[in-house]
Amino acid sequence: MKTILTSAALMALAGAVHAQEMTGDAEAGERAFNQCKACHMVQTDDGEMIVRAGRTGPNLWGVVGREAGAVEDYRYSSAMEDAGEAGLVWTEEEFTAYVMDPTGYLREYLDDSSARGKMSYRLRDADDAADIWAWLASVSPEPETDEETEESMSN
């Protein structure tokens, strides 16, 4: 009985932690994404177009939990590639900080005052950044867990 109660408590806690991870409003984020459409599209792996838009920036489908600089066939700046190799994975906190000041973020993350990314647009509103993240999370697949990644690599 104690195990069942402990499991139930852990599940409730995990749900609460997950709810805290997403601070934005996905519905507002869909509207706020208009700021991103000039450069970014959202297209699923099987070709379904969620947002038909620009192709200057990488496809943002599956950005949640993805390593930075990892969209195949997109030519990232060397700074973004370096950030990904250094372990940058897109979480709400990292994403919102990046979109508010892309160059400043990369310089700080890499501790390199000459680092530059390709993204020149800066979101001015932190709420918009969190809302866009929530919307991207709502339309993207769940990120793979370490266990799933190890399993797919071993097959």
The boundaries of the domain holding residue 66 are: 24-154
Q: Which pLDDT score is estimated for 148?
A: 54
Domain for residue 89, yes or no?
yes
pTM: 0.78
**Nearest C-alpha neighbor of 61 from the set 117, 141, 129, 146:** 141
Structure tokens at 155: 């097959």
CATH number for the domain including 91?
Answer: 1.10.760.10
**pLDDT digits 0-9 by tens, 133-153:** 999 999 988 876 656 545 544
Domain for residue 104, yes or no?
yes
